[in-house]
Every structure is written in C-alpha cells, then in structure tokens.
C-alpha cells in the first residue's frame, strides 16, 4: 500500500504538467476565426492553468488589451519551457491595434528537432514564432524575463488573429 501511495505522489506532478501542456495546446489551437472571443472551452483551459498553479488567478501585467501571466512553474511545451502567457482580448474598442488570441513566451534550447516541431505547430495552427527581441511585448514583461533568462533563448509563439504563420526565425 505504501508503494502505491508513493507511486501516486511521484506521478501527480507529471500529470499536472501533462494537463498544463494540454491546456496550453488547446488555447493555441484556436482557429483564427474564433480568436476574437475565446470559447467557454478555451476559457476552461485558461482556468485549468490557474487551478494547477501554472499561472496566477489574476494577471501579473495588464497592458492595453493584454493580460500577461508569468509562469509559476516550468511547463514543457513544444520543445520549450513556458515563461509567460499573453491573453490579448477584445471586450470593447478603446483604441487601435487589438490582436485577440494567445501568445506564449518560451525558453527554447538549441535542439533543431525542437525548433522544427515548434515551426510545424505554428504553420499548422496559423501562428507566428518571433525572437523575443523582435516581438512587441509589454516593457514590464521584458524587464522581468531578462532577469531570469538569456534573451537569445526566448521566443514568442503567438496564435492571435493577425499572425497567420508570420514566422521570423529559422
């Protein structure tokens, strides 16, 4: 019995990461036509990330139409590790330049297999992959991420309305 309990305790963190990765993929796979308003299924995926403690229940940074959540746990996804999640939304028009959808800020390694997997996902799901230095992000996010990671190893996988596979890295 002790072995079963021990095994269950060992597997639980892995299951939460699997659940978190699935929730992240679900958010990213939203077709461009549905990115303006997230469906209840997608909002549930966002809530799952909050319940698992991957992101806080409230955004860490609020900028214009963006709610940006810093990752509380390292979640592997598409060959990288989640650093932050950007949920850009459209409730009411207050200016210009809203681009609804989800973007992940990720730390990626130098493995070409992982980079290829990321590029294939972006192409299949009308997303873009951009080096962090070239991405338009809130200054507060840039400041907090550069304290923890080498900026050359950070990319933004953006699955927002206007991305349409506008990939800028090879």
Half-sphere exposure of 43 (CA within 13 A, CB side): 6
Chain segment 26-47, per-residue pLDDT in tens: 888 877 666 666 666 777 888 9
Residues paired with 42 in a beta bridge: none
The strand pair at 61-63 and 66-70 is best described as antiparallel
Q: What percent of the chain has pLDDT above 70?
A: 71
Q: Give the global pTM.
A: 0.79
Measured CA to CA, the distance from residue 22 to residue 16 in angstroms comes to 10
Q: Which residue has the higher pLDDT, 87 or 138?
A: 87
pLDDT score for 166: 56
Q: What letter would DSSP give residue 132?
A: G
46 within 8 A of 24, measured Cβ to Cβ: no
Measured CA to CA, the distance from residue 28 to residue 150 in angstroms comes to 24
Q: Which residue has the higher pLDDT, 118 or 37?
A: 118
């Amino acid at each position: 019995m002790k072995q079963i309990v021990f095994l269950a305790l060992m597997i639980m963190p892995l299951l939460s990461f699997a659940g978190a990765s699935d929730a992240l993929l679900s958010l990213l796979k939203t077709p461009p036509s549905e990115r303006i308003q997230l469906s209840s299924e997608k909002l549930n995926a966002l809530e799952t990330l909050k319940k698992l403690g991957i992101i806080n229940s409230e955004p860490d940074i609020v900028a214009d139409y963006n709610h940006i959540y810093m990752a509380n746990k390292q979640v592997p996804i598409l060959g990288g590790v989640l650093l932050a999640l950007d949920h850009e939304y459209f409730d009411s028009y207050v200016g210009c330049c809203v681009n609804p959808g989800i973007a992940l800020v990720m730390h990626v390694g130098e493995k070409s297999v992982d980079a290829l997997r990321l590029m294939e996902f972006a192409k299949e799901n009308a997303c873009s992959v951009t080096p962090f230095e070239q991405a338009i992000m809130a200054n507060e996010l840039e400041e907090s991420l550069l304290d923890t990671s080498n900026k050359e190893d950070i990319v933004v996988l953006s699955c927002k309305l206007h991305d349409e596979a506008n990939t800028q890295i090879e």
